[in-house]
Amino acid sequence: MSFENKVILITGAASGFGKLLAQYLSPRGAKLVLGDLNEKGVQAVADSLPGDVIAMACNVAVEEEVKALVDACVAHFGGLDIAVNNAGISSPPKSLLDVTEQEMDINFAVNAKSVLFGMKYQIPLMMKNGGSILNVASAAGIGGAPKLAHYSASKHAAVGLTKTAAVEFARYNIRINAICPYFTNTPMLDNAAVAGMDKGIMSQGSPMKRLGEPEEIVSTMVSLILPSNSYMTGQAINVDGGVSAF
């Protein structure tokens, strides 16, 4: 499972899945470029890692900032092998009837346009030697998510972008997949709980009758970006305790 000398970009690396993935990859030889809106947080993660790593402030909803993060891969490490477009936001739950245009806009900017911006600058760097991109969508990007219409719609868009890009660029040996987790115990879920989503109800929604743990999601993220997983592309992989089997 070596990622020796692979240049790997991760967004949303100050917390949750992104942070844990960085902590997994760094001791295994990866050269990391970490971006997050939370500049201090992502710098602290970088400072705690053993390998070659740079951290940058990056708002993934702003195209120039995403481009700058990708450019940093070339400037510091000479290219890009793997990109994980992971940064995202949740939203306070509310009926679809109450969702505002502003709430749709912010969800689409951070959860969907970010995926387009990322791939737009990551793919050209992979067209010569191939590469792999993993977009972090959600179980809410595969099925409906009551009270989360704004979030769910943006994650469906992320899945659509993933599949389209995978088909367009498969001939360049660039693999592009999405991971679609069910509710998982990260700081995002704590924020959602504060905003009124009940963790007990979320747990009951899964056939396993529990939430996911971050390590369980990151384990699948690792397997999706492994260079040996070389024939899988265009997939949206559910990691959901069985929710999608209903």
Ligand X SMILES: NC(=O)c1ccc[n+]([C@@H]2O[C@H](COP(=O)([O-])OP(=O)(O)OC[C@H]3O[C@@H](n4cnc5c(N)ncnc54)[C@H](O)[C@@H]3O)[C@@H](O)[C@H]2O)c1
Catalytic residues: 151
Q: Segment contacting ligand X (CB under 6 A): 54-62, 73-81, 93-101, 219-227?
A: 54-62
Q: Does 36 bind ligand X (CB under 6 A)?
A: yes
Question: CB neighbours of 236 closer than 8 A, spacing ≥ 6?
Answer: 137, 141, 142, 159, 162, 163, 177, 178, 179, 180
Tell whether residue 145 is a contact of ligand X (CB under 6 A).
no
Q: Write down the least CB distance from residue 202 to ligand X, Å.
A: 8
Nearer to ligand X, 80 or 158 (CB): 158
User: Which residue's Cβ has the minimum distance to ligand X?
Assistant: 16
Separation between Cα atoms, residue 187 and residue 20, nearest integer Å: 12
Sign of CA dihedral 10, 11, 14, 17: negative
Residue 107 Cβ, how far from ligand X at the closest point, in Å? 10
Q: Indicate whether 15 belongs to the interface with ligand X (CB under 6 A).
A: yes
Find the binding residues for ligand X in span 57-96 (CB under 6 A).
Answer: 58-61, 86-89
Long-range contacts of 191-198 (CB under 8 A, 24+ apart): 191/90, 192/90, 192/92, 192/93, 195/90, 195/91, 195/92, 195/93, 196/92, 196/93, 197/93, 197/147
C-beta closer to ligand X: residue 3 or 182: 182
Site residues (CB under 6 A) for ligand X, limited to 206-245: none
Number of residues lying near ligand X (CB under 6 A): 28
C-alpha closest to that of 122 among 67, 171, 60, 59: 67
Among 104, 116, 188, 226, binds ligand X (CB under 6 A): 188
- Shortest separation between residue 15's beta carbon and ligand X, angstroms: 3
Does 187 bind ligand X (CB under 6 A)? Our answer is yes
Phi/psi for 91 (5° steps) reads: -140, 150
Interaction between residue 178 and ligand X (CB under 6 A): no
**Beta-carbon neighbour count of residue 232 at 10 Å?**
15
> Following DSSP, what letter does each residue of 201-223 receive, concatenated?
HHHHTSTTSS-B-HHHHHHHHHH
- Please, what is the minimum distance in Å from the beta carbon of residue 142 to ligand X? 10
* Stretch touching ligand X by CB under 6 A, among 9-17, 48-56, 121-129, 160-168: 9-17
Binding residues for ligand X, rule: CB under 6 A, are 11-12, 14-18, 36-38, 58-61, 86-89, 110, 136, 138, 181, 183-184, 186-189
